């Protein structure tokens, strides 16, 4: 028999709470949750600015084409061993969410389903929500400038069948096919281009809507994985680390943990659940033991696991709070503990309705919404992404067929760009570290290009971009000795 609670305390203990996540469609957020989320984005820019740090990292390692250098995007189908698109963005959202939960433990990053919610006048863009950032941060949005995905496109993507490992590196089945179609297709690309401005550039995480959009991408991946037969679905790559989360990156004096991308193929490893249709089901999960810093869920800070949702939270079916763990579940409406839930002696578990006093079971909170506290710290989009403001125009089919090598690297007096096939309309652009173009030229019917007028350049790092007919063939770092 299920048990309904307006307030329940098992092994009750008063403690400070820092959260895990029940992520929901932003339309299911309370007004106070929306305000808290907006204020958290603003607050994080007043300090070490994790918003910009994550955006700059995303920009700098966006894509290097076919290259030995690790990158985040465009590794399928030619470099499947480096396919970290899903895993990297999952960790990025988690890192941002953890930073927000140090401000307010009840914050979780919601998702925006752009296949359903497509209006430029949607409440998503209200000035007391995501609309608050456009002018304040100079994001240069132009809503509605292209098409968003249709529900039919989402259905077709989610219907791609899994395969046993290793998946085929071409064709219409398997994880690689799913990931490639997601990354390059309208379900992912559509929102980036539709929003325009910063969202269309490699520094797209500067726009907070990025996190709501990628929350939806992450939700769809989570659903796709769960729909596959045993032994199918989740990816594997050779490396046991990934960019930023390799145990060496320092942000604000803290070294971020090493994360094996395979390890987080299941969102529950991070303590993340997705709610839909006014129901959050917490099942098949063991909460982390307080103080266990080797647990990825506590890698950013030791904390109690807190799950907050406006509507029904159903807990059970192998949901366990072990001895030494702390778990706090809070709903504005209703919590249901069903068979399979267990809080073991020595644990701390609290389930409560978000009310100041004991409340009827089905009662929405009478909110006291705080004001938004904005800041105006504009991003200079002129310096935002000199390597191309159309980063998400993934028309790089030729890039999967043409191999480009730049040598020597490091260089001194000249460099050679070698293609494995002759192409018309080849463009070579070189940028310095500030994003300034220091060289650009066009070549016809060439497979080998030698650039010599660079002997007077200052020593240091540059970025070279090779393209043909507006399709990027290579984007890589080069060093002048």
User: What are 350's strand-pairing partners?
Assistant: 9, 328
Give the separation between CA 231 and CA 221, rounded to whole angstroms.
16
Find out whether 206 and 137 touch, Cβ atoms under 8 Å. yes
Q: Which of 391, 385, 54 is nearest to 189 (CA)?
A: 391
- Classify 97 as helix, strand or coil: helix
Q: What b-and-e string marks burial along 336-350, b requiring 16 or more CB atoms within 10 Å of the CB?
A: bbeeebebeeebbbb
- The CATH code of the domain at 21-270 is 1.10.1280.10
Domain ranges of the chain: 21-270, 397-480
Q: What are the φ/ψ torsions at residue 266 (nearest 5 degrees)? A: -100, 120
Find out whether 74 and 397 touch, Cβ atoms under 8 Å. no
Find out whether 34 and 122 touch, Cβ atoms under 8 Å. no
Q: Could you say which DSSP state residue 138 is in?
A: T
Q: Return the beta strands (E) in 173-304 as ranges.
A: 250-251, 254-255, 272-274, 279-282, 285-286
Give the separation between CA 322 and CA 314, rounded to whole angstroms.
18
Right CATH for 397-480 from 3.30.310.80, 3.30.70.260, 2.60.40.3080, 3.40.50.720? 2.60.40.3080
pTM: 0.79
Q: Could you say which DSSP state residue 327 is in?
A: E
User: What are 111's strand-pairing partners?
Assistant: 25
Residue pLDDT tens, the chain, 481 long = 333 433 333 333 333 445 578 999 999 999 999 999 999 999 999 999 999 999 999 999 998 877 788 899 988 888 888 899 999 999 999 999 999 999 998 899 999 999 999 999 999 999 999 999 999 999 999 999 889 999 999 999 999 999 988 888 877 899 999 999 999 999 999 999 999 999 999 999 999 999 999 999 999 999 999 999 988 887 778 789 999 999 999 999 999 999 999 999 999 999 999 999 999 999 999 998 877 777 888 766 657 888 999 999 999 999 999 999 999 999 999 999 999 999 999 999 999 998 643 333 333 344 455 799 999 999 976 544 544 467 887 644 444 567 889 999 999 889 999 988 887 778 898 888 777 788 888 888 788 999 987 878 989 888 888 887 667 787 788 889 8
Q: What are the φ/ψ torsions at residue 88 (nearest 5 degrees)? A: -65, -45
Give the separation between CA 186 and CA 168, rounded to whole angstroms.
22
Residue 128: other Cβ atoms inside 10 A: 14
Q: Could you say which DSSP state residue 462 is in?
A: E
Find out whether 204 and 183 touch, Cβ atoms under 8 Å. no
Find out whether 77 and 176 touch, Cβ atoms under 8 Å. yes
In sequence order, which residues have a C-beta less than 8 Å from that of residue 135 and are 6 or more positions away? none
Q: Which of 118, 116, 128, 115 is nearest to 41 (CA)?
A: 128
- Classify 33 as helix, strand or coil: helix
């Amino acid at each position: 028999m299920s048990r309904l609670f307006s307030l329940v305390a098992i092994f009750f203990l008063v403690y400070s709470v820092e959260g895990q996540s029940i992520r929901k469609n932003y339309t299911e957020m309370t007004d106070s949750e929306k305000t808290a989320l907006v204020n958290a984005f603003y607050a994080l820019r007043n300090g070490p600015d994790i918003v910009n740090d994550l955006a700059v990292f995303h920009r700098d390692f966006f894509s290097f084409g076919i290259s030995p250098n690790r990158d985040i995007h465009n590794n399928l189908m030619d470099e499947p061993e480096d396919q970290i698109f899903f895993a990297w963005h999952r960790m990025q959202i988690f890192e941002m969410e953890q930073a927000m939960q140090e401000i307010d433990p009840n914050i979780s990053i919601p998702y925006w389903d752009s296949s359903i919610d497509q209006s430029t006048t949607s409440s998503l863009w209200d000035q007391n929500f995501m609309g608050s950032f456009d002018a304040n941060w100079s994001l240069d949005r132009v809503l509605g400038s292209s098409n968003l995905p249709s529900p039919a496109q989402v259905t077709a993507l989610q219907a791609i069948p899994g395969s046993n490992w290793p998946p085929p590196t071409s064709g219409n089945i398997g994880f690689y096919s799913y990931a490639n179609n997601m990354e390059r297709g309208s379900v992912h690309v559509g929102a980036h281009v539709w929003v325009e401005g910063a969202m269309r550039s490699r520094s797209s995480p500067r726009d907070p809507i990025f996190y709501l959009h990628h929350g939806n991408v992450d939700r769809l991946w989570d659903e796709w994985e769960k729909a596959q037969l045993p032994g199918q679905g989740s990816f594997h790559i050779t490396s046991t680390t990934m960019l930023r989360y390799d145990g060496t990156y320092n942000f604000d004096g803290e070294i971020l943990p090493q994360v094996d991308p395979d390890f987080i193929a299941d969102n529950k490893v991070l303590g993340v659940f997705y709610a839909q249709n006014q129901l959050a089901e917490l099942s098949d999960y063991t909460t982390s033991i307080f103080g266990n810093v080797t647990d990825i869920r506590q890698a950013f800070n030791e904390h109690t696991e807190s799950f907050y949702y406006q509507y029904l939270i159903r807990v059970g079916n192998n949901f366990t709070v072990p001895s030494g763990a702390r778990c706090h579940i809070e709903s504005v409406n209703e919590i249901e503990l069903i068979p399979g839930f267990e809080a073991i002696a020595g644990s701390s578990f609290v389930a409560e309705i978000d009310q100041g006093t004991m409340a009827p079971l089905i009662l929405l909170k009478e909110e006291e919404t705080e004001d938004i506290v904005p800041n105006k710290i504009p991003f200079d989009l002129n310096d935002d992404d000199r390597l191309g403001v159309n980063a998400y125009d993934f028309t790089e089919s030729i890039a999967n067929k043409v191999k480009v090598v730049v040598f020597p690297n490091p260089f001194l007096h000249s460099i050679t760009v070698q293609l494995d096939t002759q192409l018309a309309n080849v463009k070579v652009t070189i940028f310095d570290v500030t994003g300034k173009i220091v060289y650009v030229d066009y070549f016809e019917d060439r497979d080998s290009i030698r650039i010599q007028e660079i002997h007077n350049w200052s020593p240091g790092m540059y970025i070279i971009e090779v393209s043909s007919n507006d399709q990027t063939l290579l984007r890589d770092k080069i060093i002048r000795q």
